């Protein structure tokens, strides 16, 4: 996609983000965007634990995710279950051999072909928690970039539920000294969007233009610098 076409897509995305969407649609954008833009991710979902202890799988990108998570709920063990209830962050490099989940791990690797997993707990209201779950079909698929971007998507999910408390800390985390953070700052200033919608803008542009998130950010920065010269 040429730079001018990409900029046109950006403008359309920015306009769409001015109006809040339905929650289901937003969550699907989060999980779908995670699969398309985070290195190593093949499947994604969001799990939510209600105040009465029930756990739901929301916005799965495909059936295998729903079935894999249902197995966790039945066995009462697994990384997504742990993240949605207690642990803020869980990384699994190979589910087939991880000793933390002796029942769930080998079964999900054998029957569903899932080997690696990242899961991030939301900041949530008291007694209600959520988690963004990222899956890979190969072992040892996730690195530092995967974790950084996954944390951003998890923050976006938290905001979608209204489960965020510290706006200044959230903005500081997003507008960091890296390419994507720089691009978020540009979007905030140019389109008058807050930090979360600015990051959503980059993700939706990436999906709409079939362009890597890092490349969208780089294009935006380059275009901004050229205009200033």
Q: What is the pLDDT of residues 100-158, one digit of tens each?
A: 989 988 999 998 999 999 999 876 555 567 889 999 999 999 998 889 888 888 888 88
Q: What is the pLDDT of residue 163?
A: 55
Q: Is residue 29 part of a domain?
A: no
Q: Is residue 33 part of a domain?
A: no
State what percent of residues in the chain have pLDDT above 70. Answer: 76
Rounded to whole angstroms, the Cα distance separating 38 from 29 reads 13
Q: What is the pLDDT of residue 51?
A: 65
Q: Which of 229, 210, 213 is closest to 179 using CA atoms?
A: 213
Tokens coding 2: 């040429």
Q: Is residue 27 part of a domain?
A: no
Residues 107 and 148 in one domain: no
Q: Which of 115, 181, 149, 114 is closest to 35 using CA atoms?
A: 149
pTM above 0.75, yes or no: no
Q: Is residue 26 part of a domain?
A: no
- Give the tens place of pLDDT for each residue, 43-95: 999 988 766 667 788 889 988 888 888 888 788 787 777 766 667 788 999 99
Rounded to whole angstroms, the Cα distance separating 95 from 175 reads 33
Model confidence band, residue 13 (pLDDT cutoffs 50, 70, 90): very low
Model confidence band, residue 12 (pLDDT cutoffs 50, 70, 90): low
List Cβ neighbours of 158 (8 Å cut-off, separation of 6 or more): 122, 123, 124, 130, 164
Radius of gyration over alpha carbons of the chain, in Å?
18
Burial environment of residue 189 by CB neighbours within 10 A (0 to 12, 13 to 18, 19 or more): exposed
- What rounded mean pLDDT belongs to the chain? 77
Residues 44 and 131 in one domain: yes
List the beta bridge partners of residue 133.
45, 119
Residues 112 and 96 in one domain: yes
Contact 212, 206 (CB under 8 A): yes
Q: What is the pLDDT of residue 20?
A: 54
Higher pLDDT, 47 or 179: 47
Rounded to whole angstroms, the Cα distance separating 217 from 228 reads 17
Rounded to whole angstroms, the Cα distance separating 94 from 106 reads 9
Give the domain extent around 14.
Answer: 1-21+144-224
Buried b (16+ CB within 10 A) or exposed e, 54-81: ebebbbbbeebbeebbebbbeeebbbbb
Tokens coding 105: 């791990």
**Which of residues 72, 107, 142 is at a domain's end?**
142
Residues 56 and 129 in one domain: yes
Q: How many domains does the chain have?
A: 2
Residues 133 and 156 in one domain: no
Model confidence band, residue 198 (pLDDT cutoffs 50, 70, 90): confident
Residues 59 and 121 in one domain: yes
What is the rounded average pLDDT of the residues 184-202?
A: 79
């Amino acid at each position: 996609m040429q730079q001018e076409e990409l900029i046109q897509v950006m403008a359309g995305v920015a306009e769409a983000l001015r109006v809040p969407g339905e929650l289901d649609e937003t969550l699907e954008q989060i999980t779908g965007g995670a699969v398309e833009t985070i290195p190593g991710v093949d499947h994604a979902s969001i799990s939510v634990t209600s105040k009465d202890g029930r756990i739901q799988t929301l916005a799965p990108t495909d059936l295998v995710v729903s079935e894999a998570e249902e197995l966790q709920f039945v066995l009462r063990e697994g990384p997504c279950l742990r993240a949605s209830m207690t642990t803020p962050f869980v990384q699994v490099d190979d589910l087939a051999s991880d000793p933390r989940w002796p029942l769930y791990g080998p079964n999900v690797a054998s029957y569903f072909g899932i080997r690696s997993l990242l899961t991030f707990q939301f900041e949530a209201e008291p007694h209600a928690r959520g988690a963004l779950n990222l899956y890979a079909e190969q072992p040892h698929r996730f690195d530092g970039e995967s974790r950084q971007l996954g944390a951003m998507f998890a923050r976006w999910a938290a905001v979608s539920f209204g489960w965020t408390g510290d706006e200044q800390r959230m903005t500081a985390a997003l507008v960091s000294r890296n390419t994507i953070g720089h691009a978020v700052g540009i979007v905030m200033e140019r389109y008058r969007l807050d930090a979360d919608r600015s990051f959503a803008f980059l993700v939706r542009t990436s999906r709409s233009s079939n362009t890597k998130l890092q490349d969208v950010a780089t294009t935006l920065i380059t275009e901004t610098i050229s205009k200033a010269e």
